[in-house]
Amino acid sequence: MKRIMIWLTMLIINTVSIPTLSSAARDSLVAPALPNGCVVTGKVPGGVNPKNAVVYLEGVPFAGRPAPMHKEMDQKNLRFTPHVLAITVGSQVTFLNSDTVNHNVFGVGADMFDLGTWPPGRRRTKTFTRPGEVAILCNVHPEMSAYILVLKHPYFAQPDALGRYKIAGVPPGTYTLVIYQPERKPIKKKIQVGC
């Protein structure tokens, strides 16, 4: 309970307006920024592994398609890296194979696909056109798994190693801040954004 209170307090303190951000700050933590708008910052609560979390806002009005991204997911030491990846709908993810064995990539969930099996050093790319959670699996190694969260808007961020996040370009309003973690219930909190 105490931990939750600390987190809520931090959330309130940290939900402040910052009219401009340096491009370096934007690049490190922020999803594709929109011009103007407010910045929502905070820190995920203890007990949440920052590497496996995605923070996003629900209920922000957003028309049209968000800017597509191009990300990579590696397969190294029989693991997908990163384990959790957040992208906008329409984005591409290139799957690498940095191991010395063949790997396969297929997806289950919001998008069902099979990129097949390929040898070390090769790569294959998939465009994600359906929003939602996609579990990424390898049929050569059943123990391998990862998650891609495909979002219809740019109001999300993946926390840094310390759990800090920044979501930029948010219009003023009342929204639900969601901390997504695969295979766990999302943590939700109403927040007021103003700047």
Q: How far is CA 56 from the centre of its chain?
A: 8
Site membership for Cu ion, residue 53 (CB under 5 A): no
Number of amino acids touching Cu ion (CB under 5 A) = 5
From residue 26, how far is each of 153, 160, 194 by CA, in Å? 17, 12, 19
Site membership for Cu ion, residue 43 (CB under 5 A): no
Output 88 or 97, the one with its CB closest to Cu ion: 97
Give the separation between CA 106 and CA 136, rounded to whole angstroms.
Answer: 6
Residues 113-142 that bind Cu ion (CB under 5 A): 138, 140-141
* HSE-CB of 72 using CA atoms within 13 angstroms: 8
Output 103 or 126, the one with its CB closest to Cu ion: 103
Output 16 or 78, the one with its CB closest to Cu ion: 78
Give the separation between CA 48 and CA 181, rounded to whole angstroms.
Answer: 8
Output 47 or 119, the one with its CB closest to Cu ion: 119
Site membership for Cu ion, residue 189 (CB under 5 A): no
Residue ranges in contact with Cu ion by CB under 5 A: 103, 138, 140-141, 144
